[in-house]
Amino acid sequence: MATTGDPADDPARDGDYDYRSDDVDRPGMVDDLDGLIEGDVRFDDYSRQLYATDASAYEVTPVGVVFPTSTADVSAVVEYCADRGVPVLPRGGGTSLAGQTVNEAVVLDFSRHMTDVIEMDLEARLARAQPGINLGDLNAELDAHDLKFAPDPAWGDKSALGGAIGNNSTGSHSLKYGKTDAYVEEVEAVLADGTVTTFGEINLDDLRADADPEGSIRERIYAEVARIVDEEADEVREKYPDLKRNVSGYNLDVLIDEAETGSVNLARLLAGSEGTLAVITEATVSLEPVPETKAIGLLTYDDLIDAMEDVAPILEHDPAAVEVMDDVLLDLARETAEFADVVGLLPEGTDSVLLVEFYADSDEEGRRKVANLIADRVGGVDTEASPSEGAADLTGKERYARDAMEAHDAEERATFWKMRKSGLPILLGRTSDAKHISFIEDTAIPPENLPAYVADFQALLDDHDTFASYYAHAGPGVLHIRPLVNTKTVEGIERMESIADAATDLVVKYNGSVSGEHGDGRARTQWNRKLYGDRLWETFRDLKSAFDPDWLLNPGTVCGDVDMTENLRFDADYEFDAGFSPALDWDNENGMQGMVELCHGCGGCRGPQETTGGVMCPTYRASQEEIQATRGRANLLRQAMSGDLDDEATDVEFMHEVLDLCIGCKGCSKDCPSEVDLAKLKAEVTHEHHQRHGASLRDKLFANVDTLNALGSALAPLSNWAAKVPGARTVMEKTLGIAKDRSLPTFHRQSLVDWFDDRGGARVSAAEADRRVLLFPDTYTTYNHPESGKAAVRVLEAANVHVEIPRDVAGSGRPPFSKGFLDEAREQAATNVETLAPRVRDGWDVVLVEPSDAVMFQSDYRDLLPGGSEEPRSSEDRTTSNGDVETLADNSYGVMEYLDAFRLDESLSTDATGSLTYHGHCHQKSTKKDHHAVGVLRRAGYAVDPLDSGCCGMAGSFGYEAEHFSMSKAIGSILFDQVDESSGEELVAPGASCRTQLGDHYESEPPTPVEKLDAAVR
C-alpha cells in the first residue's frame, strides 16, 4: 500500500484498500513482534475476537492485539506495520460508541501496561500521564490535591485518557469545562512511520519555517497545517457550527481560532482524530479545581417540548449541567425495582424533567442559585399558574416548568443523578432483536433550536414507524436519541440508514453537528461530507495524508470510506445457534439467546475497585485481562454461538479459556448496565458440557458437598485429624486438585440439628410467638459452623419467633448449581419447594443463615423450576407448580434480612459497643439485600463501616481448586486492602466462603453478623 506521487492520486486516499487481515502471516508477525518489543503479542483467535467489538453496534475482527509497555514498543510496532502495509489501531478502554475502536488492524491496547501518571505539577495544575490510564484512576490520584481532569464522560472510570483525547470527550458538565481539547497541552506521539515526536504549542512563523511538503512526515504536517491556516480559514469559520459540543471531523475550528493569536497547538489537533493521525503515548493535560459544593434544581414539565423551550432561559443562570429525561425513560424507570422509588419522588403527572446543577463556593450560595432558578422558571413551587396561561419570568420569557424540587446534600444529589443515569441501563436491557443502538444518538443542536429540532425528529421517527427516548445533555444541546431498530433484517438496516440520513439533514438545517460527543467512527463518518461540504471533506483527507501517507492509522474513519451499514454486530446474515436447548428458564423476549446477545460493550465490568466499587468483575480486577471481564466472556460466548469462533461454547478449550475463571459471583446481574447474567449463562453451558464431555471427580465431590459434610461430621474429630496427617494435603492436591495451602473446613460432631434437638427444640411456643420460622439447615451452618445457626435461633427466639428446623428437606441446591449439575440442583429445589411451600402457605417463613443459599431460594429456584418464557428441559419430571416456587421464593429470607424486613430486632434489648467492618456477600449484593445486616447491627449499637467490596475470591469451591488458588488470592488481596483501610475494630462477614478466605489471610475467621447480634442480645 505504499503511495507514490501526488497524495491526491493515492489509492489509499480513495479508500480502495487492498489489505485484508486474512492475508497476514500471523505466526510470522507474532515471532517478529515478540523479538522487537517488551509487551505482549497475541494473534490467537480468542484475542482477536475479544477486540472485534467495542461499545458500538459494530464488529470487525482485527489482525491481532499488542499490549505495549512503552513508547519504544509502540514505535517498533508502528514502524514494523508501516513497512508491511498493515494498519494500526490505538485503543484504550474500548468504550467508544461509534465504532472507532474496531478495525481490520493491529490493535494497540494501552489499558494493560501504559497506565501511569508520570508526573504532576500541582502549582501549574498540570499532569503528564500515559494513554491507558482510566480517567477515574487519574482523578483518584488528583483528588487529594483538590484537582481533577475536568471532562467527565459517563464511563469515565472505565474510559482511558488516550480515548478521551482520541474522541475529544466531554460529559455532563461541558457547560463549565468544554471538551478535552481545551486541556491538552502537549503530547508525545508516534507518527505513521514509527517516528517519535512531540506536539504542543508552536509559533506559526516557526511552523512555516520548518514546513516542507516533500520532506519528513513532521515537515509535511507543518506544511499542511500552514496551508489550512492560510487558505481554509474562511471555509472553516463558515462551515463549522457555533457549538460548545462538536466532535465531527478534525479539530480545524480550534486550529483556526488559535492561529489568530500567532501560534497553534498541534496536540489539540489530535483531539477527536480517533487515532487516524498519530498514536499518542504520553499526554500533558491541564487540571481544574474540584468545586467546593454543588446544588441541584429539578424542574418538571408536562411534555418534552416544554422542557426544550426552557433550556435557553436556564442557561442564563450559568449552570454547570442541564440534563433531560423524557416520558419514555421515566415510565420505564417506574417499572424497575432499582429506580421506581427515585422516580416516585416526582410530582404526579410529570412527563419530562430537567436536572439543573450548579457549582458553588458554599451551601448558602448553592441554595441561592437554585432559589433564583426556581423563582425565574417556576415562579414559586406552589404556584397555580399554568404554563399554558403564559406566566412569564422576570425577563419576560414564557415559563414552562410545572414544578420544582431541590437537592443540596450529597445523598440527595446522588439520588437525582441516579434517576438521570438510569436511562441508559434501562434502554440497553432489551433482549429482543430490536435494540436501541447508537448510530445518530448524540447530535448537537444550538439550545435555542432544540424545540423545533425535537419536534422534527419526532416526526422523522413517526415516519419510520419507530420511537426513541430523549435524554442527556440538554444544556449544550446534545440529546441522546437511540431509535429502536432491528438490524438483523434488511429492512431494519435500511431504516437505520434512512433515519441517519434524514437526521443529518435536520442537523444541517438547525446549524448543529452530527456528533457532539461520541465521534465519527463507523457510524457517522459518511455524513461528514454532507455536514461540512466537499471542500472541507477534501481538506480533512489532505490532512490525513500529511500525517499518514499510506492511510494505515485506523483507516476508514473521520474522512474515509466506512459505510454505517457494514460490519454490524447484528446484520441480516447473522445466525445464532447455541447448539443445545437451555436447561433453565430464561424469562425475557428472546430466551437464553437474548441474554447471550445482551452485552453492548460499555466496559462497565472493567472498572477498578478503588474508583468503581461494586462486585463486577472480580477476575478482571485481579488480572486486567479482557477475557476475564464480563464483556469479554459475553462476547466470546455470543461469537461461539453465532459461528464467529470455530469452537463451540461447550468445547473443552472454550470452557477452559473463557468460562473457567468466572466465579459465579452474580455481580454482573446487578452492576452491568444491561444486567448480563454471566453466572447463569456459565451454569447453562457447564451443564451441557457435562452432558457431552462428562465431569471430573472433583467437580462431582464439590457438587455433593452436602453428603461429604454429613460424613465428615459423623466421623469427627477423626475427619479433622486426617487432613493434618503429614503429606495428606499434598496427596489431595495431586489426586483431586484441592490446593494444599488452603485450609479445609472443620467438621463438628454435634451438628446444628443435633444441638437443636438436644436443647429440646423450640423455646418459644408457636401459640405465643409473633411469627413462625423454618430455619433451613444449610450444609455449612449445620456441619461446619453451627455457632452461626445457634446464634440465629437464639436471636429469633429473643425476638419472640417460634423456630423449627425442617428435617424432610434436601440440600439447598447451591453446590450442584454452582458446578453446573443442574438436574441435581433442580431435584433438590423441587424437594424443598414441595416440602416447604405448603407450610409457607400456612403462615411460616423460611430463614437461611448462609447468604448464597438464601439467594438460591429467592432467585435461582425460579430459574430451575417452571415459569419462564422458554420451557426448560426435563420439565416432565417435576411435580411442583410455579405458584409453589413463587410462594417459597417470596417468603424466604436471609436471617439478617428477616430481622430487618420485619423490624424484629427493635424488640431486642442489646448492649453492643465497638465498631465493625462489614463485608457483604456478593450474592446478596447482586440481589440488593446486603444492606440489611448493616441496619440491624447499627440499631444494636455497633458502629458499622460497610465495605463497597467485591467478591472475596473464594467463591464456594473455586478457592479450594489448586489451579485457581493464585487467582483466588489475587482477588482476595483487593478485599484485604479494603479491610486494612477500614475504620472498624472487628471484621464481620456472613458468607462461609468469605470467612474462609479472610480467615486464611488474617489467621482467624471473622464472626457472622448474627453472631455479633447474638452477643449483643446476651
Q: What is the pLDDT of residues 763-784, one digit of tens each?
A: 999 999 999 999 999 999 999 9
pLDDT at 874 over 90: no
Residues paired with residue 324 on neighbouring β-strands, in sequence order: 354, 472
pLDDT greater at residue 873 or residue 712: 712
State the average pLDDT over residues 74-81. Answer: 98
To the nearest 10°, the Cα dihedral for 848, 850, 852, 853?
-40
The DSSP secondary-structure symbol of 781 reads I
SS3 544: helix
pLDDT of 14 reads 52
- The 470-473 sheet, strands edge to edge: 403-407, 293-301, 352-360, 321-325, 470-473, 478-481
pLDDT of 880 reads 53
Strands 943-946 and 915-918: parallel
pLDDT digits (tens, 9 = 90+) for 618-632: 999 999 999 999 999
State the average pLDDT over residues 831-856. Answer: 97
Q: Which helix (H) or strand (E) holds 324?
A: strand 321-325
Cell 513497512 belongs to: 83
- Report the percentage of the chain scoring pLDDT > 70: 94
C-alpha cell at 470: 430523549
pLDDT of 157 reads 80
pLDDT of 18 reads 52
pLDDT of 532 reads 98
Cα–Cα distances in angstroms (integers) from residue 231 to residues 237, 255, 267, 471, 536, in the given order: 12, 13, 21, 40, 11
Strands 771-775 and 801-804: parallel
State the average pLDDT over residues 7-34. Answer: 68
Residue 273 in contact with residue 543, Cβ under 8 Å? no
pLDDT of 949 reads 94
Centroid of chain to Cα 113: 21
State the average pLDDT over residues 220-227. Answer: 98
pLDDT at 106 over 70: yes
Neighbours of 234 (CB within 10 A): 9
pLDDT at 129 over 50: yes
pLDDT at 435 over 90: yes
pLDDT digits (tens, 9 = 90+) for 309-367: 999 999 999 999 999 999 988 888 887 766 777 788 888 889 999 999 999 999 999 99
Going by C-alpha positions, the residue among 979, 962, 955 that lies closest to residue 618 is 955
Three-class DSSP labels, 561-600 = CCCCCCCECCCCCCCCCCCCCCCCCCCCCCHHHHHHCCCC
pLDDT digits (tens, 9 = 90+) for 42-63: 999 999 999 999 999 999 999 9
pLDDT at 735 over 60: yes
Strands 352-360 and 403-407: unpaired
Strands 64-67 and 106-109: parallel
pLDDT of 337 reads 67
